[in-house]
Structure 1
Amino acid sequence: MKVLLIGANGQLGHCFQDICPKSWTLLVTNSQKLDITDSLAVDNYVSIYRPDVIVNAAAFTAVDKAEDEYELAYQVNAIGPKNLAMVSQKYNAKLVHVSTDYVFDGTKNQPYVESDKTNPINVYGKTKRKGELAVLENAPSAMIIRTSWVFSEYGNNFVKTMLKLASEKSELSVVDDQIGNPTYAGDIAKVIIKLLERNADGGIYHYCGDKSTSWFLFTKEILDIALEQKLLVQAPNVFPINTQSFPTKAKRPLYSVMSMDKLKKYCLSGSNWREKLISCISKIKSI
């Protein structure tokens, strides 16, 4: 199987390359090699290489920055997926598109299912939802994987940010009223591979960490593990605060926990994020 990976330099892109089956032919691109917002460039690339599968791991993920850079976020998160969906149909390739829990407004008090109404409350979420709709409209057989709170040993993410701050500060204040599911990027890559191997139906799927938590409690786990692994000599004091005490340019959903029951059809379950956090921090330490 020939797979075209879009967004090879991101967290998911790196992890996908690490575990891609050796029997697959993997073509990797980044924004320098292929501008997915350019429909002619996308068509030309796919017409030449004719992949069986296109995995779109590219996105504009800077949530606060998106509030000031709507057009760029829209191009990458909505127009890019539309272009990929159109060429996937034209050249008979299966499209896998990665989306986010931030398509929801966070007002629900139980895990979101795939069919729940979306109502994004920030530019990032709105542009990602537009991307979902463009994919569904132009490539009905595509798979959309919504995930959340992604971390890994690659790129910039919450785990790395907290480790850096912990090495510099004696006190940290972290939001405790936003609830979600941390997810290791390598496990997202793994579930995409398994869904492709099992020839899963098109549509939207939720995949994330197995247990919900807050940013505050997630931070506590990060620091505890870092101490155990002697990545930190001493951890700072960490204090819980509410969202109102930590204003950001973009609003965040207070509750974005997602149900993964739909994946049970393919014998798949959520990522054991604490186990993967231990191995992730170990890899960060070795780097």
Structure 2
Amino acid sequence: MTFEFSKTLTATATTIPGVVLYDLPVHGDNRGWFKENWQREKMMALGLPDFSPVQNNISFNEKAGTTRGIHAEPWDKFISVATGKIFGAWVDLREGDSFGAVFTAELDPSQAIFIPRGVGNAFQTLEDNTAYTYLVNDHWSADAQGQYTFLNLADETAAIEWPIPLAEAELSDKDKAHPRLADVAPMPPKKTLVVGADGQLGKALRAAYDGDNNVEFAARADFDLASEASYSARNWKNYSTIINAAAYTAVDTAEAPEGRQAAWAINVTAVANLAKVATSHGITLVHVSSDYVFDGTAQTHGEDEALSPLGVYGQSKAAGDAVVSVVPRHYIVRTSWVIGEGNNFVRTMASLAARGIDPGVVNDQIGRLSFTEDIAAGIIHLLESGADYGVYNLSNDGEPQSWADIAADVYELTGHSRNAVSGVSTEDYFKGKPAAPRPLNSTLDLNKIKATGFAPAAAKQRLTEYLAK
């Protein structure tokens, strides 16, 4: 067997999305050869996903002409030849526009190929004593076989030109019996799970993902955040993303003993359990945070500002952020003053206006509204655009306002006088009432998420549209 020594490590995209062919540097002399078959740091620099392999398999084939496949497994594979030479054929069997796409190549020990979940893998040995190796990112199990997708080696649509005709090759009876492409059920993508799907943001995510069968929505009855069974009963191998839209948000009640326990149970303990699941299974965790993780002394809050929560609710959200920050694939989406379908400040002000009530509203807390349709759109943008993992501020845009300013806008937009709203300080508003401390400045810097290509709508525009509904 001869092949080229000392190639430069390079990556070449193929005709199948996500399938990448690698040339490997192999160093040899009169004694034999050595190569770095898989080198995480160097290959990630070339774009190889950090696919976290957990099992190494080797297929040894005694005779040239041995042909295996076409098998699409529910995990990613990094494939190479240890010794010998193969003709490889790969067919996209995933749902989507590239279903049925084919790529073929001859591989020797100086090459390797990355095959994403759902792409069918097949090979034919071109030399005796060929060893074909796989690094995979999930453990093989008998249950997993039920999730395989197969294609017949002789499928006329794929039209693979096997160097050794299949009539002369060594095939298994099982491989001979696999279906043609027209009869193949494409492998669906991994699922997204939305936790907290009955809240304001959860409802907006339901609307944004309407018609997408690969997104599951779990309300409180479907996913009890306090129950261990919620985290152990699911087959997490089938999920790529968890969006945590659940939270304990009773800011004032959180200051009482029972409220404090509930806030930490939902905002910290449950988040830690989701983080464990995400880390163990390579899942992307999207976690929704709050302006309450800051004390409000800064005029505008950037993503890198040190956490400085004032009250129990803010402390529990800050602790949740810290937990999520260690998940390898995470987005912390920090919002402020959330408005969606359900009870909220805007609905309350509209109701007061309709009843002819002249309210006193806090005028020394400054920030922007965050409408749930824009939070949902921003989350989907981060996931679909492949934005760098990390923390992103996400509110609506425009000039920051006080709660009193927003209340006056609501009155005006509903046909009432702005002058019906009077301003009052936070201290005076809560005098004599049990209340949590609140940040006076909640304005979030939006430059980071805008740099990813997402531009939140102006808060006043969304307020007008919201009230028109």
Same fold (TM over 0.5): yes
Q: Alpha-carbon deviation of 1:253?
A: 0.5
Task: Give the 5 Å matches for 1:109-148.
Answer: 109=299, 111-137=300-326, 139-148=327-336
Separation of aligned partners in 2, 1:126 and 1:166: 34
Match of 1:97 among 276, 280, 287: 287
Match of 2:464 among 250, 268, 278: 278
The alignment covers a number of residue pairs equal to: 274
Determine helix, strand or coil for the equivalent of 2:463: helix
Match of 2:251 among 41, 59, 63: 63
Determine helix, strand or coil for the equivalent of 1:120: coil
Q: Alpha-carbon deviation of 1:263?
A: 1.3
Task: Give the 5 Å matches for 1:98-247.
Answer: 98-109=288-299, 111-137=300-326, 139-152=327-340, 154-211=341-398, 212-227=400-415, 237-247=420-430
Q: Kindly provide the CA deviation profile for residues 99-147 of structure 1, in whole angstroms up to 9, marking residues without a partner as x.
A: 00110001113x111111111111111101111111113x132100000
Q: Kindly provide the CA deviation profile for residues 186-225 of structure 1, in whole angstroms up to 9, marking residues without a partner as x.
A: 0000000111111122111101121211000011111111
Separation of aligned partners in 2, 1:74 and 1:221: 35
Match of 1:261 among 438, 447, 463: 447
Counterpart for residue 85 of structure 1? 275
Maintained 8 Å contact 1:66/1:123: yes
Maintained 8 Å contact 2:236/2:277: no
Separation of aligned partners in 2, 1:274 and 1:193: 23
Maintained 8 Å contact 1:5/1:57: yes
Separation of aligned partners in 2, 1:132 and 1:89: 15
Maintained 8 Å contact 1:140/1:203: no
1:19 equivalent to 2:182? Answer no
Which of the two has greater strand per residue? 2
- 141-150 or 262-271: bigger deviation: 262-271
Determine helix, strand or coil for the equivalent of 2:270: helix
Separation of aligned partners in 1, 2:333 and 2:357: 38
Separation of aligned partners in 1, 2:260 and 2:274: 20
Counterpart for residue 42 of structure 2? none
Maintained 8 Å contact 1:170/1:236: no
For 1:262, give the aligned amino acid. K
Separation of aligned partners in 1, 2:364 and 2:418: 22
Counterpart for residue 51 of structure 1? 239
Maintained 8 Å contact 2:290/2:335: yes
Q: Alpha-carbon deviation of 1:90?
A: 1.6
Show structure 2 runs of 5+ residues with no match: 1-188
For 1:141, give the aligned amino acid. R
Determine helix, strand or coil for the equivalent of 1:59: coil
Maintained 8 Å contact 1:60/1:73: yes
Q: Alpha-carbon deviation of 1:32?
A: 1.7
Separation of aligned partners in 2, 1:113 and 1:236: 34
Aligned CA distance change for structure 1 residues 141 and 49 (closer, same or farther; 3 Å): closer
Q: Kindly provide the CA deviation profile for residues 66-113 of structure 1, in whole angstroms up to 9, marking residues without a partner as x.
A: 11210001010111111111101222211100000110001113x111
Determine helix, strand or coil for the equivalent of 1:52: strand
Separation of aligned partners in 2, 1:206 and 1:241: 28
Quote the sequence identity (%). 34
Aligned CA distance change for structure 1 residues 32 and 23 (closer, same or farther; 3 Å): closer
Counterpart for residue 157 of structure 2? none
Q: Alpha-carbon deviation of 1:24?
A: 5.2
Maintained 8 Å contact 1:88/1:94: yes
RMSD, aligned α-carbons: 1.7
Maintained 8 Å contact 1:141/1:201: no
Higher relative contact order (CA 8 A, sep 6+): 1
Q: Alpha-carbon deviation of 1:257?
A: 0.8
Aligned CA distance change for structure 1 residues 161 and 170 (closer, same or farther; 3 Å): closer
Separation of aligned partners in 2, 1:178 and 1:164: 22
For 1:250, give the aligned amino acid. A
Maintained 8 Å contact 1:12/1:189: yes
Deviation >6 Å, runs of 4+: none
Counterpart for residue 35 of structure 1? 224
Counterpart for residue 73 of structure 1? 263
Greater C-alpha radius of gyration = 2
Separation of aligned partners in 2, 1:183 and 1:24: 27
Q: TM-score, normalised by structure 2?
A: 0.56
For 2:202, give the aligned amino acid. G
Q: Kindly provide the CA deviation profile for residues 43-67 of structure 1, in whole angstroms up to 9, marking residues without a partner as x.
A: 322x267221110000011111111
Determine helix, strand or coil for the equivalent of 1:124: helix
Maintained 8 Å contact 2:339/2:370: yes
Separation of aligned partners in 1, 2:388 and 2:236: 27
Separation of aligned partners in 2, 1:49 and 1:58: 22
Maintained 8 Å contact 1:166/1:235: no
Separation of aligned partners in 1, 2:444 and 2:236: 38
